[in-house]
Structure 1
Amino acid sequence: MPTFHAPDGTRLAYRVTADPAPSAVDALAGAAGPIVCVPGGPADSRYLGDLGGLSAHRPLIVPDLRGTGRSAVPEDPSSYRCDRLVDDVEALRVHLGLPRMTLLGHSAGANIATQYAARYPDRLDRLVLVGPGTRAVGLDIGARTRRELALLRRDEPWFPTAFAALEAIMEGTGGDTEAVAPFFHGRWDAEARRHHEAGRPDNAEAVALFGAEGAFTPEATRAALAGFEVPVLLLVGEFDLNSPPASVAELATLFPDAVLVVQPGAGHHPWIDDPDRFVATLAAFTG
């Protein structure tokens, strides 16, 4: 895997995915340019795969966040903070030699992408937020919102066990976090189970420090996004318990030029639930 150095010297890895497979140089030289995809978690970026076949339309540049996947563990653990990870994305852009780029962020990675947009608006030509986290702009998702969304799945065979665990988690009385996994997929089949296993966070310290004090400055980020003139696509699954459509719709209002797409029947990983629909939406937006 190719690597680059973060501003603090940490060696970070990334992969280039395209169909047909080009060299990294060819991928960067393409007319449309690559899409830089920031994973959530923090987790090994392999769970993104080729985003349901999106790599057939645009090359994908997928970094492993520091301390995850093939990237090195930093000397300073405080650099796991979300706002510090923005510097790693900028270092990747410089390393790739891209004057401007299309940036995609999934889940918690959308918080990184959102803060990048606020800090470096002139270095983006498109912004895509998939199942986005909303902590960067200070949007809280209440238990009632999640409960109402969860109840839409009441006819699923796994629902009783998963809903009981969800209630316990939201009430702070414990709860099996693995039991709620079906809520994050549009269908809970063998493929979804395999994907869930592949997407487990692989660095507990990175997860714990991602949102440490100072990681988010919601008022400043909102103010910066009010002048963000780059087109934004927000795509969320109809059943996404992590990023409920109503909350993502509220996030969309913070951008002057935003399109919200709710993918029917999908959960938190819409490229797994319906790859053709997902790819068609992103291909139309990114060109």
Structure 2
Amino acid sequence: MTVTTDDGVRLWAERSGGEGDPLVLCHGGPGLWDMFGDVAELLADVTPVIRWDQRGCGRSERCDGPWTSERFVADLDAVRGHFGLERMALLGHSWGAQLALSYALAHPDRVRCLVYVAGTGIGPDSDWYGAYHHTFLTRLADHPERLARWQELTARAERTRDEERERAVLQWSAEFEDRDGALEPAGRMADPWFGINAESNTVLNEERKRVWGTPELYSACEGLDVPVLIIDGARDIRPRTAVDSLAKALPHARRVILPDAGHLPWAEDPKGFREALRLGMLGP
């Protein structure tokens, strides 16, 4: 299915599941694509879902941007409008959690509830990036050949499509607690492989460094009159203390920390993730 934005960019989108109000999913990145197939299956008897690829990424139309949170918020609103949703339940993962929060702050009257999964809070990057990078390298070093190959590929000025995929799989393998088996789920994330939009990734990450951690953002979150469910995996290599800033600022927040899960909690604790989401959206 194609959603056309107000500036004419065509976005891939898909609705699955039964009747009822759907949960709209915002994938991570920036510059990646929807990898929520497993989540849609996991929630099949809980809620229908809407998945979509952000502009310039995955199955959506390649374009020249613009790469701004404001533009991506407008794209998400185009998805909402296309499916005829007056108010939506919204879930964002990682960078998608930042996007979903940005949308809720811009359009609180259009959000019924927000599920914030594995984000990095609203503080500056210094709250989490250094510890994340150290743990990332430590995880890869569990298999020295993986670290060496990742460093080799990262140092190259140009990489083939296959090398880009290999580098991504190696990088994503650090997200999984089972170090010996980590390449298998990381490989599934790269299948199919659409290629990473590096420009989108760079520009949006630079924007976050300018805007996140500002008094204005804290104040906006303190005034957000939307119920928010924060779901964290305790074993995420991004320190979960970074999310404390958001949890403290929000007036209507509930937080669930899954002790045996990492950055993709539905992959490592599907039962716990499903139950947290079910209770958070539907109540006991």
Q: TM-score, normalised by structure 2?
A: 0.79
The residue aligned with 1:5 is: 4
Give the deviation of 1:142 after TM superposition.
Answer: 4.2
| Aligned mate of 1:83, from 70, 86, 90 | 70
Q: Does 1:202 align with 2:196?
A: yes
Q: Is the 8 A contact 1:81 1:211 kept in 2?
A: no
The residue aligned with 1:138 is: 124
Q: Which amino acid is 1:283 matched to? A: R
Distance in 1 between residues matched to 2:79 and 2:68, nearest whole Å: 17
Q: Does 1:254 align with 2:249?
A: yes
Q: Is the 8 A contact 1:187 1:273 kept in 2?
A: no
Distance in 1 between residues matched to 2:73 and 2:178, nearest whole Å: 33
Give the deviation of 1:108 after TM superposition.
Answer: 0.8
Distance in 1 between residues matched to 2:137 and 2:245, nearest whole Å: 19
Superposition CA RMSD, Å: 3.2
Q: Does 1:16 align with 2:15?
A: yes
Distance in 1 between residues matched to 2:226 and 2:57, nearest whole Å: 30
**Which segment is superposed worse, 198-207 or 78-87?**
198-207
| Aligned mate of 2:24, from 33, 36, 45 | 36
Give the deviation of 1:80 after TM superposition.
Answer: 2.3
Q: Is the 8 A contact 1:104 1:129 kept in 2?
A: yes
Q: What secondary structure does 1:56 align onto? A: coil
Distance in 2 between residues matched to 1:89 and 1:37, nearest whole Å: 10
Distance in 1 between residues matched to 2:144 and 2:246, nearest whole Å: 31
Q: Is the 8 A contact 2:123 2:242 kept in 1?
A: no
Q: What secondary structure does 1:253 align onto? A: helix
Q: Is the 8 A contact 1:162 1:183 kept in 2?
A: no
| Aligned mate of 2:185, from 152, 174, 192 | 192
Q: Is the 8 A contact 1:150 1:239 kept in 2?
A: no
Give the deviation of 1:276 after TM superposition.
Answer: 1.3
Q: What secondary structure does 1:256 align onto? A: coil
Count of residue correspondences? 263
Q: What secondary structure does 1:272 align onto? A: helix
Q: Which amino acid is 1:5 matched to? A: T
Distance in 2 between residues matched to 1:231 and 1:162, nearest whole Å: 45
Q: Is the 8 A contact 1:107 1:131 kept in 2?
A: yes
- CA deviation profile, 1:173-203 (whole Å, cap 9, x unmatched): 9697765533311324264233343387532
Distance in 2 between residues matched to 1:99 and 1:162, nearest whole Å: 51
Q: What secondary structure does 2:8 align onto? A: coil
Q: What secondary structure does 2:173 align onto? A: helix
Distance in 2 between residues matched to 1:178 and 1:17, nearest whole Å: 27
The residue aligned with 1:61 is: 50
Give the deviation of 1:14 after TM superposition.
Answer: 0.5
Distance in 1 between residues matched to 2:246 and 2:145, nearest whole Å: 27
Distance in 1 between residues matched to 2:113 and 2:264, nearest whole Å: 21
Give the deviation of 1:210 after TM superposition.
Answer: 2.2
Q: Which runs of 5+ in 2 are unaligned?
A: 157-166
Distance in 2 between residues matched to 1:210 and 1:50, nearest whole Å: 26
Aligned residues: percent identity?
Answer: 31
Q: Does 1:122 align with 2:109?
A: yes
Q: What secondary structure does 1:211 align onto? A: helix
Q: Is the 8 A contact 1:82 1:111 kept in 2?
A: no
Q: Which runs of 5+ in 1 are unaligned?
A: none
Q: What secondary structure does 2:174 align onto? A: helix
The residue aligned with 1:100 is: 87
